[in-house]
Structure 1
Amino acid sequence: MLPRSIHSSALSCIRCTHPPPSIFKWDCARFISSTSTKLHQYIVWAPDYTEKGTLARRMTIRPKHMLGANKLISQGIIKVAGGLLTRESQDAEPHNRKFMGSALIYEAESLEDVRRLVEADLYWTEGVWDKEKLVILPIVDGNYPSGVSWYHSTNAERRGLTRQGE
């Protein structure tokens, strides 16, 4: 277990012998503090532009976007993330789904840190997310009676089929 003063992503940056790829335009040093660092959670609602061609642009750059997002997930910075679907494509086959945006939960020191991460994302830089409608808000993690948070619980726990420790 790492002390709270060093975020897990700092270690991966410290261990790097080369700078992270350009899609990660944030400074790892911001995660290191001589005092205990308080991390907060933020929800990001990132609707896509509605202009023609946005969905095609999203799908073209999605593989590279996913590489960047998965790196932040593995570092514990993104806690939950997913594409927002139109209602009519909810039950569609994956190749027929129509996305209308993204929702993400980040853990960081400040809203400004989250904004920098969002603005480094390919969906931002390549014009998929609507920059004027994107919203970042602090969020409080609701704990379930079992004491485990939603994103640390299993799918069965989320559906109420089991409780942690049973």
Structure 2
Amino acid sequence: MNIEPSKREWLCIIPDKPDRLAKRLEIRQTHLANLKPLLEAKKLAFGGPMFHDAHPVAGQAPQFKGSTMIFRAATEAEVRETLRNDIYATSDVWDLENTQIIPVLNVIS
């Protein structure tokens, strides 16, 4: 199977650094706003948080442990550059050294 470079998809599993929950929550709205252009350009197909042990219960603060995202990009290097420029990375929330970037193909949407 030969996939066009512009159609390549990459699953990113991005852990948070320890004790960064307060910073994550502080800049969350900026992070989400900054993703809008990527969504509109179809460079980001999916994104959302990972939780520690369970989904949050109503009235309790979520216990985030990182993020998952699916990017569309020609190369893994392009994905890494996008992640490096995200406010979660520049504000030292994400642990980019332990990030997994896995080539995937979404066949069901």
Q: How many residues in Structure 1 have an aligned counterpart in Structure 2?
A: 105
Q: Higher Cα Rg: structure 1 or 2?
A: 1
Q: Distance in 2 between matches of 1:57 and 1:94?
A: 20
Report Cα offsets for 1:26-71 as digits up to 9, x if no partner.
Answer: xxxxxxxxxxx62210011100011x3x000000010110011122
2-structure distance, mates of 1:38, 1:131: 24
Which residue of the other structure, out of 8, 24, 36, is the alignment partner of 1:70? 36
Deviation at 1:94, TM superposition (A): 6.4
Q: Tell me the amino acid that sits aligned with residue 46 of structure 1.
A: I
Gapped regions of structure 1 (runs ≥ 5): 1-36, 144-148, 151-166
TM-score relative to the length of structure 1: 0.59
Q: Runs of 4+ in structure 1 displaced over 6 angstroms?
A: none
**Matched residues in 2 for 1:73 and 1:109: separation?**
16
If asked which structure has higher relative contact order (CA below 8 Å, sep 6+), I would say: 2
Q: 2:66 aligns with which of 89, 101, 108?
A: 101
Aligned partners of 2:95 and 2:85: how far apart in 1?
Answer: 14
| Corresponding residue for residue 57 of structure 1 | 23
2:15 to 44, 47, 69: 47
Q: Helix, strand or coil: the match of 2:98?
A: coil
Equivalent of residue 113 in structure 1, options 64, 78, 83: 78
In structure 1, distance between residues paired with 2:79 and 2:52: 26
Q: Which runs of 5+ in 2 are unaligned?
A: none
Deviation at 1:73, TM superposition (A): 1.0
- Which among 81, 87, 92 is matched to residue 47 of structure 2? 81
Is residue 2:96 matched to residue 1:131? yes
Which has the larger strand fraction? 2
Amino acid aligned to 1:41: E
Give the TM-score normalised by structure 2.
0.88
d(CA) in 2 for partners of 1:111 and 1:94? Answer: 38
